[in-house]
Amino acid sequence: MADELKDEWPRFFCHWLSVTIGFFFRGLLPVLKAWEDPAHVVEYPRWWAALAFAAVISLLGGAINSNLPVKPRELVKSMGIGFALDAAAVLAKIS
């Protein structure tokens, strides 16, 4: 069938990248909020470690959404899943 959606590697990588961006962006928001004065230098130590952690955790979101088409609407949904995954991790640390 031509209309059948299949799990394919390029589709997985597109959604995985979107989930990673959403997860990393959620961790970066407090840093951006603290950076109200552009003249003031804000330190974000080991940003690469946060990005690597986001990439590993986002494998789950990429696997979940790999059957969706690669369209802007679906990629925004994937970013939302990444955002929610990090929010869930933050809430787990609080409680």
Instruction: List the chain domain ranges.
Output: 18-94
pLDDT value at position 7? Answer: 67
7 vs 57 pLDDT, higher one: 57
Q: Could you say which DSSP state residue 15 is in?
A: H
Render pLDDT for 28-87 as a digit per residue (tens, 0 to 9). 888 888 778 778 887 777 888 888 988 998 998 888 888 888 899 999 999 999 888 877
- The mean per-residue pLDDT over the stretch 18-32 comes to 87
- The 3-state secondary structure of 24-93 reads HHHHHHHHHHHCCCCCCCCCCCCHHHHHHHHHHHHHHHHHHHCCCCCCHHHHHHHHHHHHHHHHHHHHHH
51 vs 1 pLDDT, higher one: 51
Instruction: State the Cα–Cα distance between residues 61 and 4, nearest whole angstrom.
Output: 21
